A and B are shown apart, each in its own frame.
Chain A
């Protein structure tokens, strides 16, 4: 396995991308649409040429402004949202395609293909035609096909998008198992993909890699609004005052300062509030150290047994998860003024 190092810009797309993927790591690439995630994949696959900088896999320079190694010589597998199985080949021959392209004999290639199909639990589908597979099956076969070529690097562009919940869950299990220890870049919009498949996360925004780190650490204390959104945590921005975070309207948020990235006085900071830690009241309650924030209900989003209530707190958005029963009892509707209450120990304060 080889590490990926991208330090390249693409002038036409306004992308200046800087990212290292350690050998054997599965790095998830997240970010808003149009941020440059797919450009990143295409740079590594050789489908996009850098106008400056270079792309390396292992010790080899694959792209720089003077030379772009053709895609087929890179040993970089690409898996897209549409599995793109060849419609004129059986499932087995689809998976045997890469070994055969590499010069393996038909029988040896098919043997290898069978092994890979077993690896994704699809050996029973070997004789089928591509159009006889469900979306989830097709994606699993596409993984087998990609891995049968012994790629140095695996690139995945939203592989679980467009699948139903059960198929996506199944695919995640397969991906987690088959990608373990292979250098991979996984573009995704799904928080679940991050937790189950990736060990590292890179956040891409506005054509830049703005943050990278280990999945668990980054999602536990998200410092960018995008990551916070992915992990479901609300972030409030403000300034440190006496160990608390002062946000607009002079409101103070109490919480526990983060050990790695502590909040400093008179410096910009963030408060991370998990939606399930927020309770809503029509009258301000008393009691132990709590944050009691005046809020206005903006939107109610039913999510199974709970309702996610999006609140406006001094111009910033805060999410609260409450039961549908309390929504009814409090008579919550867009425009209702409420008090959002959060225990201080459930709020984390970061410096920026």
Chain B
């Protein structure tokens, strides 16, 4: 079928929009001192920040899976006011200013805070530790996983869970052998998005965890810190972050496609 075409003039704003998105990234790639690129990335503080980001983002993505998957499954099967409240809570960090999220975490989990002081008695001091980075990242990244998985579970309208139950599968068996494998692509793409969001986390981390080299200073914090004193290094690290983001988005898109063909 040949669809009726769009108006030709629509191409102009579309091109402008593309340029708007592409130009800053290209400018950065052009400005990076490629001749000593590797040297810029291998300074102690850069390497520290890189490994810290990798460790914390992996940990927070795993935490998102452990906590976010059950939440997504429960939400996908829930109706009513309580479910609406749950759904709002699960998506709120997406639209919240990260610095506000960090402040909220500090007020709840800080050393002198209500929950934090009690944890402190148990020997768990969270604020301004690597653990705090993971908490901040998980807080802002989990919605991406929950939304992706809940959406996939809702559109899975072939009643595979009903069929599995009539074949004698207990709810736990259905979960492991049917629901999780069938939503695996959505889980993977949700996890990739959550990882990307955690990697870019800045405001909540700075507010709740501070900026201590090797402990809480992740890549974005390092970039911000050295952006004036050592612009070249900041640009090099930024390019690394862009490259990782590109890979994650490509993975998500590919998963979306494979999921589309399987249905």
| Contacts from A to B (Cβ < 8 Å) | 45, 47, 70-78, 80, 82, 84, 86-88, 97-98, 100-102, 131, 145-146, 149, 155
Contacts and interface: CB of A to CB of B under 8 A. Distances in A.
Nearest first, the 5 A-B pairs at minimum CB distance are: A71-B165, A101-B169, A98-B167, A78-B166, A72-B165
A145 B168 CA distance: 11
B166 A76 contact: yes
Contacts of A87: 182, 262-263
Given A45-B166, A77-B166, A131-B262, A72 B158 contact: no
B160 interface: yes
30 contacts: A70-B165, A71-B165, A72-B164, A72-B165, A72-B167, A72-B168, A72-B171, A72-B173, A74-B166, A76-B166, A77-B166, A78-B162, A78-B163, A78-B166, A80-B163, A82-B158, A84-B159, A86-B160, A86-B164, A86-B182, A87-B262, A88-B181, A97-B177, A98-B168, A101-B164, A101-B168, A101-B170, A101-B173, A101-B177, A131-B262
Given A70-B165, A102-B168, 4 more contacts: A86-B163, A86-B164, A131-B262, A149-B167
B188 interface: no
A75 B182 contact: no
Contacts of A82: 158
A97 B164 CA distance: 8
Interface in B132-183: 158-160, 162-171, 173-174, 177-178, 181-182
Given A84-B160, A97-B164, A72 B181 contact: no
Contact of B158 (A70, A73, A84, A97): A84
Interface of B: 158-160, 162-171, 173-174, 177-178, 181-182, 184, 262-263
A199 B128 CA distance: 75
Contacts of B167: 72, 77, 97-98, 101, 145-146, 149
A47 B168 contact: no
Nearest to B162: A47
A37 B158 CA distance: 20
B168 to A, nearest CB: 5
Nearest to B171: A72
**Secondary structure call for the A interface:** mixed
A107 B195 CA distance: 39
A126 B162 CA distance: 23
A75 B178 contact: no
Contacts of A77: 166-167
B163 to A, nearest CB: 5
A88 B170 contact: no
A131 B261 CA distance: 10
A72 B163 CA distance: 10
A88 B164 CA distance: 13
Nearest to B173: A101
Contacts of B177: 97, 100-101
Contacts of B160: 84, 86
A154 to B, nearest CB: 10
A98 B177 CA distance: 11
A71 B173 contact: no
A98 B170 CA distance: 11
Contacts of B158: 82, 84
A88 B263 CA distance: 10
A82 B160 CA distance: 11
Contacts of A76: 166
A101 B262 CA distance: 24
A75 B166 CA distance: 7
A80 B164 CA distance: 13
A73 B177 CA distance: 17
Contacts of B164: 72, 86, 97, 101
Contacts of A80: 159, 163
Nearest to B263: A87
Given A87-B182, A87-B262, A131-B262, A97 B162 contact: no
A320 to B, nearest CB: 44
A74 B170 CA distance: 11
B159 A72 contact: no
A101 B170 CA distance: 8
A155 to B, nearest CB: 8
A72 B178 CA distance: 14
